[in-house]
Amino acid sequence: MSEMQNIQWFPGHMTKTKRQIQSSLKLVDAVAEIIDARIPVSSRNPDINKIIQNKPRVILLNKCDMANQNATKKWIEHFKNEGITAIAVDCKSGYGLNRFAPSVNMVLSKRLENLKAKGMVNPTLRIMIVGIPNVGKSSFINRIAKQNRAKVEDRPGVTRGNQWYTIAKNLEMLDTPGVLWPKFDDKIVGEHLAFTGAVKDQILDTELLTVRLLDFLKELRPKDFIARFKLENTDLNEIDSYELLNIIGKKRGMLISGGEIDTERAAIMLLDEFRSAKLGRITIEMP
């Protein structure tokens, strides 16, 4: 798990982070906001629009390898309707990353024209990455930096302490991402972040969390989930989720002495399997 998720957000820290991001924003032309394609609502910072203001932006729906493909398409359409360019990427395999630079160039086409009109020849455009912990910011930066060339050498005009990667012709990326906080005061957001493993299990009851996940799976009925636990003949509308957890535990032979079902172990297993997409490519939040 990413170290980043251990961050404890408190007001002073949030103010400091915001200030850091705002000072980095002065150095860039656009922002790439990384979110989790399975939970495009809960994996966003609630103040993102205020923080980045009117900077051109590209949204990266990361971990699309674990999200439902149709749902991801709908999200891309949804953002498009809001006037935001979004692309689906998977930083594990590198899928979709080739569309990144062209998308950035597209959202910056006006700016590019303006710079050229001012007489700049081949202006270099700069971007930065922002996102809440665990959405894949470091994975993205590592992938895209490796795929392209090494760091930009120190040179006049570039603030010391900021490192840049050249990631395409005339396109540079700041090497440190802006780490934003999620929405804390919403129970559903907390649950969805916990389903994906973006927040620590210790702060939530595992069985309770899994029962909530099962509430959701019962309704959605993902094919892989049904097949994996042979639930074809189980009337999912009729049983409550705790009962379902027991059925699943039993099917897996997870018993404690006395023949009782080890629901705690079953819950941990289910969460693990959900997080590694063994239950299928599942999107939790729809536009």
Provide the binding-site residues for ligand G4P, judged by CB under 6 A. Answer: 1-2, 4, 62-63, 65-66, 90-92, 131, 133-139
Least CB distance to ligand G4P at residue 255 (A)? 29
CA dist 228 and 217 (Å) reads: 13
Nearer to ligand G4P, 254 or 279 (CB): 279
Least CB distance to ligand G4P at residue 131 (A)? 6
Least CB distance to ligand G4P at residue 2 (A)? 3
* Helix intervals (H) in 200-278: 206-220, 223-228, 241-251, 263-275
Residue, CB closest to ligand G4P? 136
The angle formed by the CA atoms of residues 189, 282 and 58, to the nearest 5 degrees, is 65
Going by the DSSP 8-state scheme, the letter that residue 102 receives in this structure is H
Rounded to the nearest 10 degrees, the angle between the axes of helix 187-196 and helix 206-220 is 90
* Short-list 56, 67, 53, CA closest to 32: 56
Least CB distance to ligand G4P at residue 83 (A)? 25
Least CB distance to ligand G4P at residue 251 (A)? 26
Nearer to ligand G4P, 143 or 212 (CB): 143
Residue 260: its H or E element = strand 260-261
Classify the phi-psi angles of 51: left when phi > 0, otherwise alpha if psi is within -120 to 50, otherwise beta: alpha
Nearer to ligand G4P, 101 or 141 (CB): 141
Nearer to ligand G4P, 35 or 211 (CB): 35
CB 207 within 8 A of CB 267: yes
Nearer to ligand G4P, 63 or 262 (CB): 63
